[in-house]
Amino acid sequence: ARRVRCFYVGRAFAFPRLTERPRPPRASRRSRARQDKARADASSYVFRENNGNRGCAMTCLAPHATSLVAPRVAQPRGVRARAVVSRASSRTVTRAMASTGASLSLGAGRVGAPPRHAAVVAPLRGRRVVPRAASRRAAQPQVRSAGAAKPDPSASAGSKEPGSRSSDGRWSSVVTALADVMAPAVVESLLDEELPAHADIHRGRLSNGLRYVVLPNKVPGDRFEAHLEMHVGSVDEREDEQGLAHLVEHVTFLGSKKRDAWLGSGTRGNAYTDFHHTVFHVHSPTHNKDSTYMIPNVLDILYDVAFNPQLLDTRVAKEKKAVLAEAQMMNTIEYRVDCQLLQHLHWDNNLGCRFPIGKLDQVVTWDAAKVRQFHERWYFPANATLYVVGDFHADVPGVVEMIENAFGAASAATHPEGFVNEVPRSPDSVKAFEGVVGGAGAPSLPNNTPDTPNELRDRHAVRPPVKHAFGCPPSAASAIRENAERASLAHLVDPFQPMVATESGVQLFQHEHLSHVSFNIFSKLPVLPLRHMGDLHRTVNQRIALLVLQSRIQSRYAELDHEHYKRCELDHSDSAREGCTVSTVTVTCEPLHWKYALQVAVEEARRLKQHGLTLGELTRFKSAMMRDSEQLAQQAGFVPSLENLDFVMEHDALGHVVMDQVQGHEALLRLDDVICLEGVNEVARELLGFFAEYGKDATERDPVGGLTTAIVACVPSTTTDNDGVEVPFSIFEQDVIAVLSADYGEIDPIEDVFVPDELLSETDLDELVKARTPTIVSSTVDEKTGVHQRVLSNGIRVNYRVTNNEPGSAFLRLVVPGGRTAESTTAGPGGIGAAAVGFRTLQEVGAVGPWSRKQVELITMQNLVMFEVEPEAEYLFLDAAFAVKGGLRTTLEIIHLLTSQPVWDANALERVKDIYRMFELNTQRNLELLTHDAVNHAVFGDRRLMDPNRSELSALTIDGVKDAVTHQLRAGPLEVNIAGDVDPTELDLLIVRYLGTATPGGATHPENDTNPLELLPLTLRNVDPGDAATRQQRVYLRDSDERACAVLAGPGPKMWAPMFNPTLPEISSVKPEDVDGNGTVAQTMAEQLGYHPLDQVNQQAHVAGNPFAAQSARRANPLATFVAGMLLTEVIGGRLFTTVRDALGLTYDCNFQLAFGLQNADSTTYRLVVTSTPAKIDDALNAALRVLRGFKQQRVTQREVERARMTLLTRHETELKTNAYWVDLMQYTALGDTLAPAKEVSCISDLPAMYEASTVEDLYEVYQALGLGDGEVFTCVTVAGKEDPALAKPVVAAALPAESDAGMRAAAAAAASLGMAMTGGMAIAEALKKMGGGGPAAAAADSGIDVK
């Protein structure tokens, strides 16, 4: 399911959200992408703890305002390829903040990374529409096609075409509002002005029709992105081809030998299929480790994938099984909700039924001939666009020449003789909206006009090729009807002529796996391209209106004396995937109180529509928008290539002008004087009419408002009452309609809120400084890393590093030692869950010191600050992302007040409890969560490693949780980590004034010596090796669809565990024959090599001058176990993929993780997760365990280590460009006496060298610490379906004798005889086939899947 949302990438306001806005289920050839994402997360755990015990994150400290400043996310592609956001999970529900989905485009992308544990939603990405090129007027210089004789029409992509002008009356409300202060002609001239286009984007077209876009970009340095977009997706499939676009993507990408040859050594590739396109993408260093210039090779890969694939029968058979397994993996309740939303939102076209994953009953019937036919029909150069963005080490003409050399050989596709254009358009069409992309007003051709024989085939004129029913205001609806009437009179049929929708009723989706209610109210509209200053003005007004309404609704929810969870999300976004704009209101709430939650949203929408904004609201939100735009302009030149590429691709598809960050900021500044209260209120009337006036008669409606085109209520079958008893639950359509259309009487205007300029006045601070005389008592700087370390007189420890990764931005993390290890092990007022629930209660309260939640929200919004809190096993932490200008001070003020003057509220505590209860209920209804939960209960002997249950939550009191958190604050010492664009001198002054005067928990100094926390170590459960009931669980989950998931876990090494390091004898006692037998003197060797003559030395690392080349030095480093564990995780992931997924076809998703992170506990585990069908899940689990155990016989190869090393180093280098990662690196380095004794600042500089120096033998030291024996592993297999299956299969341990030594030796011997030992796990599968035995996995290997 795809929920990546887009309005204008580049984000002025990017809100974390949980919304039921449907995202098309986009299939992707993720292969190892999910593992890559997990490993990317895990790579930071060397400095960060994660034990799979996240619990549910609360509403952020300043829910609305904080989300304004989420730094631009530079996600790994694996994240984007998956992008599943769970609505049913309260982990996600509660992590999300009140938010609008509207986002403002002010430049080509944004730099930065989100708080690692914050629900920062990336700037919205949408579905791409290919505007009708003939309707455009090129605003940029025309680009001549390489090898072509005429200018490329696509050179105008994303450039301006005449949209609505002042003569159309579109700016009349603004002109009227400003008539007293500005001449109408001046206003009209400004709004009519065309937006400037990005000067560095180069577009062209080859003679065979292939389009290309080239953009030089220096971040990250020495790397580039190459994405080949094929303009074919699931909506292009015929009735008997549903899912074929996705299968073709699999077969072409994985069937390329050139891809296999080059992907590695820092080069990554993947692909995904969506409604409207298929994209193959490669991320590569400009030069690889062998100094090979990679751009020509990467372009050759993409050419081979798209235009020269093998499409072998064996590959088709293999990928059909992969697709079936992928469908099983994707078929979560969240995916099914998305499908329901899309089905009802797009009832009028194939977007509601042509999901990329397709129909599985069709997939199983297709052969290679079917794949070839589809490929031939759609994979031709003119139906492709190539995007190349990055640090090329070449000029643009040079890159264009490389494109010509790589793709020029692709044969152009031509129309056969007699071909008739299938998309006729009327020359007399009247535009429903001036400048609408893909709307009724595109240029047209006479009906049934044949193309010239042998003329080049081109892509569809309309992307996606669908017809929409729009909920337009009356004037636009009249234009659409007029257009249809003209076409009818001319006997023209345009399959994409839009329709006018009627107001929708309510569609219900009820399922037993849902835990909360969500109402999704949609209005579908045409896309209005962003091309003129007036278009930008309209967009800014929309943003402000939605931000204000969002803030009002969520504040009202929080201020009410009610303990139940509820949230309202707003979204107004262009969707290029769907070819439309969608306005969305989503209300999510606890089932028993849905009417009130929905009523509040309706009342606030009506209030804003009737009375408008206050002057204070306009001033604050406009100021925040300008400040954010300024910060974005500061980041020009620092935006990652991937973000720029996505931005350009999105804007081109939507017909928006592509501006750089500076151009966008300058344009916004020029609009400052014409953004007025009347203009924003006018836009609010337009935006909110569909929701605020639902059910009204047409004669009573505001003429500028639109209609609701779809309402979908997602409802659980059961819920729990106030006593915790599960009871049936239902909602009826007429009840929802009644709440939406009810008359709630006279609605008064809102009163403005006083917002302070500061939370701690200078006067108050001066008094605190005078009373407490704060100072820096210790100050150091690490020269290798640039990390500054300070200790303040009140015991607070500060680490910071100055970076220029994200100009104008910074990231902060507050660490409070203790966490859940300081909780009691029994239930009670301050028992299990007290610290976790208590810390989140502080966030849910949102108030600090004398300031209310609303005031805190607004001041953080004004100063671009976002907060997130999270309790971990061994500490509590608070993350803050902020703009340095204004935001740094506000962040330090809040930390001072939150630790010194926290505000506690019993109702907030009950809301937090309610969220935990919702998550507990959701866990029991979610296949993956239920399986993990069963394993957690079996593995861990400590309830504190899991979320508190209902009885434990009920026992907690406000005084108990307050005492638990206060004790940790008082005990300390607290650590504050900051990374960003800060001035060291200024920062030192600020931390002394704001942090040095703080009294955490009321203590002027840490009390860890006088009143220490009672830290009870977290433990693993002591389970008898023969206890099969605990070690080998099987669970049934009732579900309408069949699915299965298995989890295997066991004990693993501690993150900081010392690695075995043999003691070396004195050099004087070493005999010559002990060294090499040729008489070399030991002392001479030691002098020449710099190592002990008996030490094991990584020669490659030694030649490179690596200080850890010698085994003794490497294993003495505290990072030894972590580094080897991360490398081993990569290698295991590769073998699992090649064996269980690719060779045996038993699953689409199998991944392995070491749960590194705990600093002082012995409860570290590994975990392997595999999803499959109920029929294959046991075979898949058996095969995965065979792979794990097979490392004893089939040793890790040097090639596997090199690939893993390059992957991790590349990831590390990329992450170093983000402030959040630097905070991860610094975390704990000042807490060696309380939390992480082994972690020092030197670990940061040692990490890359340790990766470079690690050897196969190091990996096996970690491997030997994995508990893989029958008496050590824990498994749980959960099968979901309509009926409980007969659990007749033998359990895993019984199927695999103790170590299966004989079988594995035979498998290894067979693999060696095949000459495949270097390929890792693939050799095991091949060996099993040769053996003709070996249990279920071997049977699967004999089922016809070719692994050659």
Q: List, by residue number, the catalytic residues.
A: 249, 319
- Residue 464, preceding peptide bond in cis (omega within 30° of 0): yes
Instruction: Concatenate the DSSP letters of all residues of 405-470 into one string.
Output: HHHTTSPPPBPPTT-B-SS---TT---SSTT-BTSTTS----TTPBPPTTPBP---SSSS----EE
Residues in Cβ contact with 475 at an 8 Å cutoff, skipping those fewer than 6 apart: 703
Amino acid identity of residue 642, one-letter, is L
Residues in Cβ contact with 1287 at an 8 Å cutoff, skipping those fewer than 6 apart: 1034
Question: Which H or E element spans position 517?
Answer: strand 517-525
Question: Which two structure tokens, joined as six digits, stand for 306?
Answer: 């798209």
Question: Shortest CA distance to 559 belongs to which of 905, 915, 918?
Answer: 905
Q: Are strands 875-883 and 809-817 parallel, antiparallel or unpaired?
A: antiparallel
Q: How many residues does the chain have?
A: 1348
Taking the CB of residue 695, how many other CB atoms lie within 10 A of it? 11
DSSP type of residue 1197: P
Question: Shortest CA distance to 800 belongs to which of 819, 780, 784?
Answer: 780
The rounded distance, in Å, linking the Cα atoms of 643 and 109 is: 5
Question: Phi-psi region for residue 872, left (φ > 0), alpha (ψ -120 to 50) or beta?
Answer: beta
Residues in Cβ contact with 1295 at an 8 Å cutoff, skipping those fewer than 6 apart: 1178, 1182, 1335, 1336
The rounded distance, in Å, linking the Cα atoms of 55 and 363 is: 39
Taking the CB of residue 857, how many other CB atoms lie within 10 A of it? 29
The rounded distance, in Å, linking the Cα atoms of 48 and 863 is: 28
Q: In a 10 Å sphere around its CB, with 0-12 CB exposed, 13-18 middle and 19+ buried, how is residue 41 labelled? A: middle
Between the alpha carbon of residue 285 and those of residues 302, 393, 515, 677, the distances in Å are 16, 11, 45, 50
The rounded distance, in Å, linking the Cα atoms of 1127 and 643 is: 28
Question: Which two structure tokens, joined as six digits, stand for 1239?
Answer: 């972690």
Classified as helix, coil or strand, 1038 is strand
Question: Which two structure tokens, joined as six digits, stand for 673?
Answer: 């004087």
Between the alpha carbon of residue 145 and those of residues 148, 150, 300, 648, 1237, the distances in Å are 5, 7, 20, 19, 62
Instruction: Concatenate the DSSP letters of all residues of 917-979 into one string.
Output: HHHHHHHTT-HHHHHHHHHHHHHBS-GGGS---HHHHHH--HHHHHHHHHHHHHH---EEEEE
Q: In a 10 Å sphere around its CB, with 0-12 CB exposed, 13-18 middle and 19+ buried, how is residue 1233 labelled? A: exposed
* SS3 per-residue string spanning 99-158: CECCCCCCCCCCCCCCCCCCCCCCCCCCCCCCCCHHHCCCCCCCCECCCCCCECHHHHCC
Between the alpha carbon of residue 1136 and those of residues 1152, 1169, 1230, the distances in Å are 8, 11, 39
The rounded distance, in Å, linking the Cα atoms of 1153 and 1138 is: 17
Question: Shortest CA distance to 848 belongs to which of 198, 285, 245, 61?
Answer: 61
Taking the CB of residue 350, how many other CB atoms lie within 10 A of it? 18
